[in-house]
A = this chain, B = another copy of it.
Amino acid sequence: MEGRDTDRAGVGGTVADVGEFGLIREVTGRQQVPKGTVVGPGDDAAVVEAPDGRVVITTDVLVQGVHFRLDWSSPEQVGHKAAAVNLADVAAMGARPTSLVVGFACPADTDAAVATAVSDGMSAEAARAGAGIVGGDVVQADQLVISVTAIGDLGGREPVTRSGARPGHIVAVCGRLGWAAAGLAVLGRGFRSPVGVVNAQRAPEPPYEAGLVAADAGATSMIDVSDGLLADLQHLAESSDVGIDIASESLEVDRKLVDVAGALGADPMHWVLTGGEDHALVATFPSFTDLPQGWRQIGTVLMPDTGVTVDGKPYDGETGWEHWR
Identify the A interface with B (CB < 8 A): 15-16, 19-21, 38-39, 42-63, 65-67, 88-90, 92-93, 95, 99, 101-105, 108, 134-143, 145, 147, 149-152, 154, 159, 161-163, 222-224, 239, 322-325
**4 more A-B residue pairs beyond the given contacts A20-B324, A66-B140, A149-B149, with a C-beta to C-beta distance below 8 A:** A19-B322, A44-B90, A50-B55, A140-B323
Residue in B closest to A62 when the chains form the complex, CB atoms: B139
Q: Say whether B89 contacts A57, CB under 8 Å.
A: no
Q: Which of A21, A48, A141 has the most CB of B within 10 A?
A: A141
Q: Say whether B51 contacts A53, CB under 8 Å.
A: yes
Of B15, B66, B141, B163, the residue contacting A139 (CB under 8 A) is B66
Residue in B closest to A65 when the chains form the complex, CB atoms: B142
Query: What residues of B have a CB within 8 angstroms of the CB of A136 in the complex?
Result: 59
CB of A129, distance to nearest CB on chain B (Å): 13
Q: Say whether A63 contacts B141, CB under 8 Å.
A: yes
CA distance A88 to B99 in the complex (A): 21
Q: Say whether B138 contacts A45, CB under 8 Å.
A: no
Q: Say whether B323 contacts A138, CB under 8 Å.
A: yes
CB of A20, distance to nearest CB on chain B (Å): 4
CB of A152, distance to nearest CB on chain B (Å): 7
Residue in B closest to A154 when the chains form the complex, CB atoms: B47
CA distance A102 to B163 in the complex (A): 23
Q: A60-B103, A61-B147 are in contact. Are A47 and B42 (CB under 8 A)?
A: no
Q: A66-B141, A67-B139, A149-B101 are in contact. Are A57 and B48 (CB under 8 A)?
A: yes
Query: What residues of B have a CB within 8 angstroms of the CB of A152 in the complex?
Result: 45
CA distance A103 to B54 in the complex (A): 22
CA distance A57 to B254 in the complex (A): 41
CA distance A67 to B50 in the complex (A): 32
Q: Say whether A44 contacts B105, CB under 8 Å.
A: no
Enumerate 6 A-B pairs (CB-CB under 8 Å) in ascending A order. A43-B161, A45-B89, A47-B55, A59-B137, A60-B103, A63-B141
CB of A216, distance to nearest CB on chain B (Å): 17
Residue in B closest to A136 when the chains form the complex, CB atoms: B59
Q: Say whether A95 contacts B154, CB under 8 Å.
A: no
Query: What residues of B have a CB within 8 angstroms of the CB of A54 in the complex?
Result: 38, 47-50
Q: Say whether A61 contacts B103, CB under 8 Å.
A: yes
Of B19, B59, B322, the residue contacting A135 (CB under 8 A) is B59
Q: A61-B105, A324-B16 are in contact. Are A143 and B142 (CB under 8 A)?
A: yes
CA distance A195 to B264 in the complex (A): 62
Q: Say whether A101 contacts B59, CB under 8 Å.
A: yes
